[in-house]
């Protein structure tokens, strides 16, 4: 099995890990959560800046890359609007709504892992790690209202495991797209970059700010430095 697909499976499984951590009532300080969310943000931004977009430009596809980047921003913005525009009352319905939003954006995230792997195996693995980090609090976000609404732990765990399958499914879709449409690689790289940047802008960074606005910067710059050193050393 392709290493990036294995990492994608593990990244998806982190959604269930988040639910399990919530079940065990493990105490995560706001500062720790902010640091790790900042780390994921720094890693994803650095991958886009130092790997994905430069690689798209090397293919002489700067226009495709820019169009793809814009499409990526619009796609994830549309997904987020669709998922959260009709919020209903009730803890169970809220949990399902959060689950829908996470499921909708897990597919393009999985594609980003495949597209990163097309350039360097390390890039795909790093993207998968960053996605896995932010899937943990997403699993918590799904589990919390469902648990408080009276749903059993086994049922919640099953649902988060099913949501986790969508990430590797997206990775397989990404590999298929690369095999069938290799001439559109710059467009696809731009698309994945736009998705990742919007994810950081709309979810990871605001949530990190809500937890601890200072700790997030320590994580962010550490993530940036890790990718910078891995790229140029």
Residue (of 112, 109, 115) closest to 182 by Cα position: 115
pLDDT in tens, 119-137: 666 777 878 887 888 788 7
Q: What is the pLDDT at residue 87?
A: 46
Q: Residue 203: which of 144, 141, 112, 126 has the closest Cα?
A: 141
pLDDT at residue 47 tops 80: no
Whole-number Å distance between alpha carbons of 111 and 129: 14
- Of residues 81 and 99, more confidently modeled: 99
C-beta of residue 5 within 8 angstroms of C-beta of residue 168:
yes
Q: 60: pLDDT confidence band, cut at 50, 70 and 90?
A: low
Confidence at 165, pLDDT banded by 50, 70, 90: very high
Confidence of residue 89 (pLDDT cuts 50, 70, 90): very low
The confidence score (pLDDT) of residue 233 equals 56
> Quick one: pLDDT band at residue 153, thresholds 50, 70, 90?
confident
């Amino acid at each position: 099995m392709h290493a990036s697909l294995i990492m994608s499976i593990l990244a998806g499984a982190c959604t269930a890990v988040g639910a399990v951590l919530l079940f065990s009532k493990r105490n995560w300080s706001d500062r720790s959560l902010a640091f790790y969310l900042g780390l994921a943000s720094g890693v994803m931004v650095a991958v886009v800046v130092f790997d994905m977009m430069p690689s798209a430009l090397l293919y002489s596809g700067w226009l495709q890359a820019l169009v793809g980047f814009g499409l990526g921003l619009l796609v994830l913005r549309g997904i987020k609007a669709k998922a959260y525009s009709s919020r209903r009352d009730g803890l169970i319905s809220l949990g399902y709504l959060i689950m829908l939003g996470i499921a909708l954006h897990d597919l393009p995230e999985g594609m980003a892992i495949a597209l990163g792997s097309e350039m360097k195996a390390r890039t795909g693995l790093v993207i998968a790690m960053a996605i896995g980090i932010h899937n943990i609090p997403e699993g918590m976000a799904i589990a919390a209202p469902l648990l408080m609404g009276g749903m059993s732990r086994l049922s919640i765990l099953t649902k988060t495991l099913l949501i986790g399958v969508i990430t590797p499914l997206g990775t397989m879709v990404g590999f298929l797209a690369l095999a069938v449409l290799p001439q559109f690689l710059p467009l696809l790289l731009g698309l994945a970059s736009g998705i990742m940047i919007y994810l950081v802008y709309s979810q990871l960074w605001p949530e990190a700010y809500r937890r601890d606005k200072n700790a997030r910067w320590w994580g962010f710059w550490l993530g940036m430095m890790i990718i910078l050193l891995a790229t140029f050393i």
